[in-house]
Amino acid sequence: MRVAIILRSSNLICMTRPRFTDALSRIKLLEILAPFDPHVAGTPPLGIDLPTSDIDVLCYAPDPHVFTRAVWDAYSTCDEFSVRQWTGRENPIIASFAAADWTFELFGQALPVPEQHGWKHFQVEHRLLRIGGSRFRAAVMQLRADGMKTEPAFAASLGIEASNPYETLFDMAGWSDEALAALLREHGF
Q: How far apart, in Å, are the Cα atoms of 38 and each of 17, 80, 100, 113, 179?
A: 22, 21, 18, 8, 30
CATH topology classification for 21-113: Beta Polymerase; domain 2 (3.30.460)
The residue among 125, 123, 89 whose CA lies nearest residue 107 is 89
15 — pLDDT class (breaks 50, 70, 90): low
- For residue range 165-178, list pLDDT tens digits in order: 999 999 999 999 99
Residue 127: burial class (beta carbons within 10 Å; 0-12, 13-18, 19+): middle
Q: Is 14 helix (H, G, I), strand (E, B) or coil?
A: strand
Beta-ladder partners of 105: 56, 96
Question: pLDDT, tens digit, for every residue of 83-134?
Answer: 999 887 678 999 999 999 999 999 999 999 999 999 999 999 999 999 999 9
Considering only the C-alpha atoms of the chain, give the largest distance between any 2 of them, rounded to a whole number of Å. Answer: 50
Domain ranges in the chain are 21-113, 118-186
List, in sequence order, every residue forming a beta bridge with 102; answer none if it has no partner.
99
Percentage of the chain modeled with pLDDT above 90: 85
Q: Are 85 and 94 in contact (CB under 8 A)?
A: yes
Whether the CB-CB separation of 89 and 107 falls below 8 Å is answered with: no
